[in-house]
Structure 1
Amino acid sequence: MLTDRQRMILNAIVDDYIRSAEPVGSRSISKRGDVQYSPATIRNEMSDLEELGFLEQPHTSAGRVPSNKGYRYYVDHLLHYNDLSLHELSTLRTFFSERMNQTEKIIQHVASILSGLTNYTSIVLGPQILHMSLKHIQLVPLNEETAVAIIVTNTGHVENKLFSIPVGMPIGELQKFVNILNAKLKDIPFVSVKTKLYEEIHAELIQHIGEYEEFMLIVNHLLAEKNIEDRVFLSGATNILTQPEFKDVDKVKTLLDLLDQSGSVAKLFDAGKEQHSGIQVRIGSENQNKAIHQCSFITASYSVEGHTLGTIGILGPTRMEYGRVISLLDYLSKDLAILLSKHYG
């Protein structure tokens, strides 16, 4: 248990280090208006905080920097949340006043806004397949041999699928098949489409559609789950290089390689799956992936009517502006949920 004086000094060190990215000495802390202790007293307390594991002393400096344990204590016990600035509020309000019909465009814009406002890397997971259902299929013949199926989901996602028309199959017959699918599969979750198709409308398709087996091969291609997968939207990947602790590109090559792989980026969110709502803060080695052990990862889920649709994340150095980032994520995740609820009815 830290004393009030140790808490004040730790808070001052973290604040100064976040702002300057330079090791903090006792003299600079003593010059702060909110600290009334001598440099000698502060130096003794800093030494004790180092022994307790809250501070570290770089070999090249007499100053101290927060350890992961120090950041964790700061986030859990000392953090003051920031009010959003007029610029931040204006940017977010402008975004939420724009009309965007596709969920992907909304999510992409969210990622871009967050990376721009924070100068960190933003990662947004789009709505998951569990919550995606079929809204409409439209058929566009290109010629006698090829057609495009335009698949629209309830999230606003649009998928264009090119496929070959079986030899001798009339376009009218193909359109009849698509009409039956639209009538019977609308609002059915993609994870349940095949069950619905084979168990409930199988007999009707056989009755009304000739060359049934060939049609089923086409629909299996069009509605393959692997093509309606989670979307990972990333913005500001190179922002990490603007942070002083990541100036050496060789040291962050593993991190940059990670950010280049959507599948690996999505797995960064796995550690927080057991907690479906609220802000989650993972600092340094609390992250499972070693590539981001020098980083902090803050996430917030967004939900519609109790269903968690996706997650917003900010990746930055452990020397992160925690209060400001948490306030931004809290504000944006709540308003994003309201905006997406319109798409989900």
Structure 2
Amino acid sequence: MLTDRQLFILQAIVDDYIQSAEPVGSRSLSKQSGMSYSPATLRNEMADLEEMGFLEKPHSSSGRIPSERGYRHYVDHLLLPHQLSNREIHDLRSLFARRVMETEQVVKQSATILSELTSYASIVLGPEIFESKMKQVQIIPLNDRTAVAILVTDTGHVENHTVSLPEALNSSDLEKIANILNDRLRGVPLYQLQNKITTEVAGLLRQHISSYREALLFTEETLQKSSEEKVYYGGKANLLSQPEFRDVDKVRMIFELLEEDHTMHELLKPEQGGLMIRIGQENANQAFEDCSIISASYSFNGNPVGTISIVGPTRMEYPRVIGLIEHLSRDLSKVLTNLYTDRS
């Protein structure tokens, strides 16, 4: 358990290191505005924080830098809300100033402006759910309890996933469900599928399948995961300006990973709504073990459909980046919901 004094010192060290990228010494720390502790006191407390794993001591320096544990404690307990400037708010909202804009344009420009405002790399998962249309669906039983649902879109994307089979449905019911879906939903945009199930498909299921409720739930589960994803990048080269990424091999690993859209999608796809902050080795890939990734999902009609992420060093300007990314995710959610509700 950290004392109030240790918390205050840890916060001051993290804030200092974020701005300077230089190890923080007790003497320079004692000269900060609002710091009332002597260099000797600070040295003792910094040594204790290092022993507890919140700080590290680089070999070539007498100062300390935050450890991953230190950054995590800072993010979870010491982070102060960042008030966006009028200029930052203006720049973010300028994305949506044009009345006629396609989803792809909005998402691409979101990646660009976010990288410009943060000086880090941005990655935005843009849902093809808005552009793609259903072409065909197949339901193939694997055994008495599971089936594979295969959905093909008009862009040629093929998606399949395993679904549970209700005991009340037989192979004949599955064939009827597939026929109804292909008859009624061919050419329907993916984002409208769930609505069409309620307004058109449900009535047909009631007419043709005795176990109507099970059939309806099964149909909704079959199509609920239907979406393609695109990955848009902004400011990859910004990483080269960070002192942490002067190691050529380290940078090569990061840039090679950033070329693998499918891998990036799997790393960043929205499992749930809200904000996620992964620091260092919390990232599920060795290339990002010296990076922090801050992600926020954006939604359509309240359901997460994509993710906005910032990739930078663990020495990231967390308060400002979080403020920017949360603001953008809210605005993007509102714009997409309004845009595609009007089109429905």
Q: TM-score, normalised by structure 2?
A: 0.73
Q: Does 1:94 align with 2:90?
A: no
Shift of 1:260: 1.5
1:289-333 superposed Cα distances (whole Å, 9 cap, x missing partner): 111000000000011222111111000000000000000011000
Letter of the structure 2 residue corresponding to residue 77 of structure 1: H
CA distance in 1, matches of 2:81, 2:246: 29
Match for 1:303 among 260, 284, 299?
Answer: 299
- What residue number does 1:259 align with? 258
Q: Is the 8 A contact 2:14 2:71 kept in 1?
A: yes
CA distance in 2, matches of 1:91, 1:182: 45
Q: TM-score, normalised by structure 1?
A: 0.72
Shift of 1:268: 2.0
1:185-243 superposed Cα distances (whole Å, 9 cap, x missing partner): 343639979xx9xxx9xxxxxxxxxxxxxxxxxxxxxxxxxxx7310011111111100
CA distance in 2, matches of 1:245, 1:51: 24
Q: Does 1:337 align with 2:333?
A: yes
Q: Does 1:118 align with 2:118?
A: yes
Letter of the structure 2 residue corresponding to residue 331 of structure 1: H
Instruction: Give the SS at the match of 2:229.
Output: coil
Q: May I ask how many residue pairs the two structures share in their alignment?
A: 271
CA distance in 2, matches of 1:263, 1:135: 21
Q: Does 1:33 align with 2:33?
A: yes
Give the gaps of 5 or more residues in structure 1. 137-156, 162-180, 201-227
Instruction: Give the SS at the match of 2:249.
Output: helix
- What residue number does 1:319 align with? 315
Shift of 1:8: 0.5
CA distance in 2, matches of 1:303, 1:184: 23
Shift of 1:277: 1.3
- What residue number does 1:189 align with? 190
State the superposition RMSD in angstroms. 2.9
- What residue number does 2:231 align with? 232
CA distance in 2, matches of 1:85, 1:6: 31
Give the gaps of 5 or more residues in structure 2. 136-152, 158-181, 202-226
Instruction: Give the SS at the match of 1:81.
Output: coil
Runs of 4+ aligned structure 1 residues displaced above 2 Å come to 131-136, 157-161, 181-193, 248-251
- What residue number does 2:75 align with? 75
Matches within 5 A, 1:1-345: 1-127=1-127, 129=129, 134=133, 185-187=186-188, 189=190, 229-269=228-268, 273=271, 276-345=272-341
Instruction: Give the SS at the match of 2:22.
Output: coil
**Percent identity over paired residues:** 51
**321-330 vs 256-265, which deviates more?**
256-265
1:35-62 superposed Cα distances (whole Å, 9 cap, x missing partner): 1000000000000000000000000000
